[in-house]
Amino acid sequence: MIENQKIRPAKVIGPLGEPLTLETLPPPETTRWVIRRKGEVVAAVNGGLLSIDEVCARYGLTVEEFAGWQRAVDRSGLQGLRVTRIQIYKKQYERDQRY
């Protein structure tokens, strides 16, 4: 039945406005995760190009690690994915939640 089949888009819009396809996503052997690559993977999941399980299997990530990327993008945009800024954004977010 067609209703039960997952329909995936051929491409989604990436964090910088560029079209993303499965071929243009970071390669599965990626070990250096710059904010652009993290943002592309988050955009792929949010757009339905890949599922969270597929991303975790493809890139060797844990669900918690990927969920952290999604939270960072939701809270602070791409800049929230900077490793050097995580603690600053975390403190700011916690402070904002208290008031």
Per-domain boundaries in the chain: 13-23+33-98
pTM, rounded to two decimals:
0.79
Q: CB count, 10 Å around CB of 15?
A: 20
How far apart (Å, rounded) are the C-alpha atoms in residues 94 and 22?
Answer: 36
Q: Please give the pLDDT value at position 80.
A: 86
Amino acid residing at 79: Q
Residue 85: which pLDDT band, with cuts at 50, 70 and 90?
A: low
CB distance 11 to 20 below 8 Å: yes
Q: Please give the pLDDT value at position 95.
A: 77
Fold of 13-23+33-98: Arc Repressor Mutant, subunit A (1.10.10)
Q: What is the pLDDT of residues 28-84, one digit of tens each?
A: 999 899 999 999 999 999 999 999 999 999 999 999 999 999 999 998 899 888 876
**Which residue did the predictor score with more confidence, 98 or 20?**
20
